[in-house]
Amino acid sequence: MIRETYVNALTLLALVAIPAWALYADEPFTITLMTRAAIFAIAAIGLNIALGIGGLVSLGHAVFFGIGGYAMGILAHHAQTYTPLAEWPFLIDGTKSMPIIWLVAICLSALAALVIGALSLRTTGVYFIMITLAFGQMFFFFAISWAEYGGEDGLSIYVRNGFPGLNTLAPIQFYGLCLALLFVVLIFAWKLSKSPFGLALNAARQAPMRVETVGLDPMRLKLIAFVISGVITGLAGALFADLNRFVSPTMFSWQLSGEIIIFIILGGVGRLFGPVIGALAFVALEHWLGGLSDYWHIYLGLLLLVVVLFGRGGLIGMLSGREAVHD
Amino acid sequence: MTDPVLQTKGICKSFGALRASRDISIDLLPGEIHAIIGPNGAGKSTLIGQICGTLKPDAGSVELLGQDVTHQTARARSRAGLGRTFQISSLAMEDTVLQNALLGALGANGNPWRFWKDVLKDENLRATAEEALVRVGLEDHARVRTAELSHGQRRQLEVAVALTLRPRALVMDEPMAGMGSEGSKRLTGFLDELRHEAPILLVEHDMDAVFALADRISVLVYGEVIATGTVEEIRADAAVREAYLGEDA
């Protein structure tokens, strides 16, 4: 067994060393793959706050991923066509600035998570899964029928959006930006898990009656967790759209919601680095197995089965055992 | 006469045709332990549910510290000073003993909407939590995962969490259940002291503990209080002997 700290340190090292090597060896595609993994990791860290700590199995997190994506797509689309987003009540122009796009993605995701959470949290267990799935499908079909923004075909953005002081079109610079955000999100998730809120949320998952009896509201704790979770996944969506310079309804699809859950299960539910390791493993498999066969999901399924059956606690659990008690 | 800390006035509760509570009026006076005994299915848990706010009575009222709390949530009643321990331990099993106690402290004097500071480094919360653990004798187990505690130790932790809230009244649902005689004796001694801090409404099957501790006993049979009195009165009561204690008691 390797201590979890070492596994985490190794993961961080990989996040820095692999792209550095790729830059040196002039392998830009590897950098793109790593960017994809980093963005998926951010999305999954978001879900892990709701799922891992709060016990909320949301099969609708693609909603926030998609909202982030469309926030980017719509704003950039108006900017590149020089058309205003709205003229009334006041003039709103599109933008190609990442910070503004992120802010919009965050606000819209928060709003959506608040509404979806408030309605979904009236249910628990399998009903919660189903209702979040239903919201996901609603957004998916809405995006498909939204002809103004490409409908089924989605929106192409010709030039990647800008970030002050960076050339985002250089793969390594865009990767650096995503990695920096990944670190910020990781640190936030780490602090949150040890904070008073984390303690209360953790207890609300395990013993809601107890939380109620000490005078706290488990529902409200879970709702706030769901909003934080949605915001982080939404931010990842905006980055993902920028990585591909393309956004389409598949960002809202339930398959994507499922994939975000897979990252977490593969890496380790509720573990800080679980989503990161899961996303890295997923992207690596997608790349290698995808090259071998179109039906690579079969192998992914087998791996998932092995991890779930034999490695309780995901890949991290297999490598470093149960989570240590922190004091 | 001193005012009761906790009081039910004629509460009734039915589940379909089953009348689980029939016009129950009991009270809890400062400094006393009032035990509720009764055979299985007598409606003890239903009564506790209504007192603590997880069940709503069909009729009647519940008063805490002179305030009518009948329509308040369990949460509001906790904040108003009603502490509770559960029959089936409802602790965060994956968390450490200290973390469970901290949760109580957080509910009592903290706000949970802090996302950054390490809760284990919060001096105030930690002091409250550790004090409660010391009082129930679990201070040496603070860093143990709750799931690894013995059944009796979990009971102790239940009491500790309730204590962090500095309750004005305690409702305890079978705190002795599953405890060895040693632990049971210890807890009996502890509750004996505790009553002066917060009176205790005690639902308990362990008759030795009940007779050792209770100032008053109410006997619940088929949702009805058939007798309330001191230990001697209850022991002598013919109806109680017939209904519950058995002829040889």
| CB atoms B113 and A325 under 8 Å | no
Q: Taking an 8 Å Cβ-Cβ cutoff, which residues of chain A contact chain B?
A: 188, 191-192, 194-200, 202-203, 206-207, 209-217, 221, 224, 228, 325-327
Residue B245 has pLDDT above 70, yes or no: no
> Stretch A59-86: mean pLDDT, rounded?
96
Query: Which one, of A227, A229, A220, lies nearest residue A201 by Cα?
Result: A220
Residue B248 has pLDDT above 60, yes or no: no
Taking the Cβ of residue B146 and every Cβ of chain A, the question of whether any pair is shorter than 8 Å is answered with no
| CB atoms A210 and B145 under 8 Å | no
| CB atoms A202 and B92 under 8 Å | yes
Measure A74 CA to nearest chain B CA, in Å: 32
* HSE, side-chain direction, 13 A CA sphere, residue A93: 7
Identify the closest residue of chain B to A326 by CA–CA distance: B143
Residues of chain A with C-beta less than 8 angstroms from the C-beta of B86:
209-210, 213
- Contact indicator for A202, A225 with CB cutoff of 8 Å: no
- Contact indicator for A239, A246 with CB cutoff of 8 Å: no
pLDDT at position B1 is: 57
pLDDT at position A225 is: 98
CB pairs < 8 Å spanning A and B = 115
Which of A191, A199, A205 best probes binding to B when mutated, by most B CB atoms within 10 angstroms? A199
The pLDDT tens digits for B187-205 are 888 999 999 999 999 998 8
Question: pLDDT band at A154, cuts 50/70/90?
Answer: very high
CA-based R_g, chain B, Å: 18
Look at B43-57, B62-76, B104-118, B174-188 and tell me which has the smallest mean pLDDT.
Answer: B174-188
Measure A140 CA to nearest chain B CA, in Å: 32
CA distance B152 to B176: 8
- Contact indicator for B127, B135 with CB cutoff of 8 Å: no
Quick one: what percent of chain B has pLDDT higher than 90? 70
> Stretch A98-123: mean pLDDT, rounded?
97
Q: Tokens 């009647």 map to which residue?
A: B60
pLDDT at position B182 is: 83
pLDDT at position B106 is: 94
| CB atoms B116 and A214 under 8 Å | no
Measure A300 CA to nearest chain B CA, in Å: 30
Q: Give the type of residue at A183.
A: F
| CB atoms A221 and B112 under 8 Å | yes
Neighbours of B145 (CB within 10 A): 17
B18: β partners:
B15
The pLDDT tens digits for A209-262 are 999 999 999 999 999 999 999 999 999 999 999 999 999 999 999 999 999 999
Q: Which sign, positive or negative, has the C-alpha torsion A128, B88, B201, B164?
A: negative
| CB atoms A199 and B119 under 8 Å | yes
Residues of chain A with C-beta less than 8 angstroms from the C-beta of B93:
206-207
| CB atoms A213 and B143 under 8 Å | no
Look at A177-181, A182-186, A313-317, B57-61 and tell me which has the smallest mean pLDDT.
Answer: A313-317
CA distance B94 to A53: 11
CA distance A270 to A205: 12
pLDDT at position A153 is: 95
CA distance B15 to A32: 62
Parallel, antiparallel, or unpaired: how do β-strands B59-64 and B67-68 relate?
antiparallel
* HSE, side-chain direction, 13 A CA sphere, residue A277: 26
Point out the residue among B84, B103, B111 whose CB comes nearest to the CB of A203: B103
Query: Which one, of B214, B217, B164, B202, lies nearest residue A199 by Cα?
Result: B164
- Across all residues in chain B, what is the average pLDDT? 90
Quick one: what percent of chain A has pLDDT higher than 90? 85
| CB atoms A211 and B107 under 8 Å | yes
Measure A325 CA to nearest chain B CA, in Å: 7
Token pair for residue B65?
């510290």
Which of B45, B54, B72, B75 best probes binding to A when mutated, by most A CB atoms within 10 angstroms? B75
State the pTM of this model.
0.93
Residue B98 has pLDDT above 80, yes or no: yes
| CB atoms B103 and A215 under 8 Å | no
Query: Which one, of B203, B214, B246, lies nearest residue B45 by Cα?
Result: B203
| CB atoms A206 and B164 under 8 Å | no
Residues of chain A with C-beta less than 8 angstroms from the C-beta of B96:
325, 327
Question: pLDDT band at A327, cuts 50/70/90?
Answer: low
B170: β partners:
B83, B200
pLDDT at position A15 is: 97
Question: pLDDT band at B238, cuts 50/70/90?
Answer: confident
The pLDDT tens digits for B51-63 are 999 999 999 999 9
- Across all residues in chain A, what is the average pLDDT? 94
| CB atoms A214 and B108 under 8 Å | yes
Helices (H), chain A: 4-24, 28-48, 62-81, 98-120, 125-145, 171-194, 196-206, 208-213, 218-244, 254-267, 274-292, 297-310, 314-320
Question: pLDDT band at B249, cuts 50/70/90?
Answer: very low
The pLDDT tens digits for A110-121 are 999 999 999 999
Query: Which one, of A279, A325, A262, A217, lies nearest residue A57 by Cα?
Result: A262
Query: Which one, of B170, B237, B229, B219, lies nearest residue B198 by Cα?
Result: B170
Q: CA angle, A219 as apex, A317 and B160 as ends, to 5°?
A: 75
* HSE, side-chain direction, 13 A CA sphere, residue A109: 38
